[in-house]
A and B are shown apart, each in its own frame.
Chain A
């Protein structure tokens, strides 16, 4: 069974640029959630995708957007990068968006905005 993977591991971007982060969900999982973890903080929920549709969103502006593909892998896109977007971005997959299904986390992508 393949776990959750994310790419790239690290990324450095300049303020105002756009970035795309990628996540491959665990085999059989149809739900992917994205979290932002700033340094010294707990993860904050960005949004969740279920069967290619966004079905829940946290308090993040529209310049944070995403996609989920038929194979349930997912992308997180951030436009007009700001210095405060520097963080570890985590994705997590699960068997189902509701109920008590466990979320399995990837290793994260460390984004630095200069």
Chain B
């Protein structure tokens, strides 16, 4: 079974600074997707960034980028120029590439606090 581990329950960052959230996962599959989701307080979960395992290039979305280390099964999220609106729970998630349904396995989450 696939597992996703987030070892940082809480993180804090000064506004405009950079923060990195860590995630490791375990799978026997060779092809899969990895995601970072953001869940603001009392608001809907939204996709921040997605990485396809067969792509060596790290995904980037504006201020958000990942460091994907396939051999180490590590998938960290870097947030640059942190903004107050970045404060939220961040979930790392995994999904198999093949298969007929979209079971997504989530980590326990990291609560990010942004300090003005």
Q: Which of B57-78 contact A (CB under 8 A)?
A: none
Say whether A20 faces chain B, with CB atoms less than 8 Å apart.
Answer: no
- Report the count of interface residues on B (CB-CB < 8 A): 24
The stretch of B11-19, B80-88, B96-104 in contact with A is B96-104
The smallest beta-carbon distance between B35 and chain A, in angstroms, is 9
Q: How far is the CB of A109 from chain B (nearest CB, A)?
A: 12
B102 touches A98 (CB 8 A): yes
B47 within 8 Å of A by Cβ?
yes
**Would you call the interface of chain A mostly helix, strand, loop, or mixed?**
loop
Please tell me the size bucket of the interface on A: 20 to 34
| Structural contact, B101 and A102, CB atoms closer than 8 A | no
A98:B101 contact, CB within 8 angstroms: yes
B56 on the A face (CB < 8 A): no
Give the nearest-CB partner of B4 in chain A. A42
Across the interface, which residues of B come within 8 angstroms of A50, CB to CB? Answer: 100-101
